[in-house]
Amino acid sequence: MKKIPELIEKINSQWVFNAPFFSEFLLNFSYEESDALPTIGVSLNSKFLKIVYNKKFLESLSSPELQGVLIHEIMHVIRLTKNREQEKKHKLWGIASDIPINEDIMVKWTINNTKLTLPKQVIFLETITKQGYDGVCIAEPIYDFLLTQKDKYGDDNKQYTIDDHSGLEDIKKEIEDNPLLQAKLNDMIDNAKARGYGGTSSDLSQMIDNLIKEKSIPIEKIIFRNILKCISGHSLKRKSWKKINRRDNPLKGYKKYNQKFNVVIDTSGSCWSKEIMSRFFYSIDSLSQKYSINLIEFDTQIKSHKDYRRGSWKSIAINGGGGTDIQPVFDYMKEKHLSDVPTVILTDGEFDRRLNYYDIKPLWAIIQNNEYEFKFGKL
């Protein structure tokens, strides 16, 4: 896996100021050079999205062409959060969906007054117009026309698009099946939007707004920020041992402080959903980079208690599915002396509120029934 290629790094150094929205994507991609790919394409690795590219292809492009190609790839990524046509023939649909983007890049889109362009081999509306297409520049009617020309455009040995589309549907399915990846993609888009458009043309900015405005509220970000606020305001930290170094005093000492907190998850039937759990674990996984986490699962009783480490969500089997009784949680935490660290409880709020809290002051992450008031704080 390579770091960002030098040619793309030069573009990014301009975009940081002139097009910060798109710079966010270039900084979050990983990159892989491949001679097997003739041009460029988006793929998926074990961590997140990557750009696979042919170095000779990048070197053949002018700066406006390379910017146009990168914008084209980013548009594919943004569209991964939207529904694509699953019933259509993949290759023909890829060509049809590319043509309107290519037209806009060539006619409307600029960055810091630089007109974007694309390599000459790219297919445009003019190409199919000469072959008899007389409709508007919209993917669906273009696709219908390409079906009548499928003997030509269905040839897998010919390159009619600027990039490789072969993995896009696989990436989309992977993201749909893995809500943590979906949350990470949504988070990247939210961060990009927060950075702004800079010198991007209004047509391009409007196109992006239309694509992302229907996204659901990023609950996982709200949870993350509120948990972080709760933890950072707590003074208790746990010391960890310093490793012995032969150049130092042979006696062990304290090297650093690790802050701990409790995460209590309601796994009862009413709260047990893949979407809820994935959003919450996205937040917890981010926090586990800096904090030690006690993970406690419960329904009517304590189901499990374990240390959570980054990436553990991949192997955790959620235990529970019954009713809800939260009092055993406070009893258990008191018995195990866990009440002296910050505690976050994820639940849907469906339980008896006549509780003995002991000295525990939890932060409640209420997924539903948020109209109820709690003795201490809630998200």
Please report the pLDDT score of residue 154 as a whole number. Answer: 61
Best CA proximity match to 347, nearest among 332, 373, 366: 366
Alpha-carbon distance of 55 to 323, in angstroms, equals 58
Which has the minimum average pLDDT: 28-32, 138-142, 310-314? 310-314
Please report the pLDDT score of residue 261 as a whole number. Answer: 83
User: When comparing pLDDT for 163 and 245, which is higher?
Assistant: 163
Structure tokens at 33: 């050079």
User: Residue 157 in contact with residue 135, Cβ under 8 Å?
Assistant: no
Residues facing 293 on adjacent strands: 261, 308
> Per residue in 159-187, is it b (16+ CB within 10 Å) or e — as a string?
ebbbbbbeebbebbeebeeebbbbbbbbb
Please report the pLDDT score of residue 235 as a whole number. Answer: 43
Please report the pLDDT score of residue 370 as a whole number. Answer: 54
The phi and psi torsions of 67 (rounded to 5 degrees) equal -65, -40
Which has the minimum average pLDDT: 12-21, 319-328, 341-350? 319-328
What number of other Cβ atoms are within 10 A of residue 286's Cβ? 20
* Domains of the chain and CATH, by start: 6-212 (no CATH), 219-366 (3.40.50.410)
Please report the pLDDT score of residue 155 as a whole number. Answer: 58
What is the average pLDDT across 120-127?
A: 84
pTM above 0.75, yes or no: no
Measured in whole angstroms, how far is the alpha carbon of residue 271 from the centre of its chain?
Answer: 23
User: When comparing pLDDT for 367 and 3, which is higher?
Assistant: 3
Measured in whole angstroms, how far is the alpha carbon of residue 205 from the centre of its chain?
Answer: 21
Helix axis angle, 90-107 to 202-212, nearest 10°: 140
Q: Percent of the chain having pLDDT more than 90?
A: 18
* Residue 104 clears pLDDT 80, i.e. is over it: yes
User: Residue 104 in contact with residue 207, Cβ under 8 Å?
Assistant: yes
User: When comparing pLDDT for 40 and 285, which is higher?
Assistant: 40
Please report the pLDDT score of residue 233 as a whole number. Answer: 54
Please report the pLDDT score of residue 326 as a whole number. Answer: 87
Structure tokens at 15: 């975009």
What is the average pLDDT across 213-233?
A: 58
What is the chain's mean pLDDT, rounded?
A: 77
pLDDT digits (tens, 9 = 90+) for 44-101: 876 788 899 999 999 999 999 999 999 998 988 887 755 444 445 667 877 888 888 8
Q: Percent of the chain having pLDDT more than 70?
A: 71
DSSP 169-212: HHHHHHHHH-HHHHHHHHHHHHHHHHH--TTB-HHHHHHHHHHH
* Residue 282 clears pLDDT 80, i.e. is over it: no
Alpha-carbon distance of 366 to 379, in angstroms, equals 6
Work out the pLDDT band at 258, boundaries 50, 70, 90: low
Please provide the distance, in angstroms rounded to a whole number, between the alpha carbons at the two ends of the chain. 40
What is the average pLDDT across 237-244?
A: 50
Residues facing 375 on adjacent strands: none
Alpha-carbon distance of 288 to 281, in angstroms, equals 10
What is the average pLDDT across 320-341?
A: 83
pLDDT digits (tens, 9 = 90+) for 149-201: 877 776 554 566 777 766 676 777 777 777 778 788 888 888 898 899 999 99
Residues facing 295 on adjacent strands: 263, 306
Alpha-carbon distance of 183 to 286, in angstroms, equals 12
User: When comparing pLDDT for 114 and 317, which is higher?
Assistant: 114
